[in-house]
Amino acid sequence: MLDYGLSFLRTPIYIDNNSAISIVNNPVKHSKTKHIEIKYHFIRDCNEKILIQVLKVHTDDQFADLFTNSVTTAKHSFYR
């Protein structure tokens, strides 16, 4: 991003899933998270190194859903 003249202290990550936010913010590994593959612990490492900032976003406001889920015409028009 520095090449484009933008600098962030921490990259914001918008998540609408409370369980995912808890897993990222709680670095303790316990029986409920042992099924998660090692490659998915990368986001935990980034959070510990203060490279990312995990932010809660309401499901209705999750922009990524436009690319991953079917959305209503009204919601599609809102994102345009």
Q: What is the pLDDT of residues 2-56, one digit of tens each?
A: 778 777 788 888 888 888 888 888 767 666 667 777 767 788 888 889 889 999 9
CA 15, CA 29: separation in Å to the nearest integer?
Answer: 20
Of 45-49, 65-69, 72-76, the poorest mean pLDDT is in 65-69
pTM over 0.85? The answer is no
Higher pLDDT, residue 17 or 75? 17
Q: What was the pLDDT predicted at 77?
A: 76
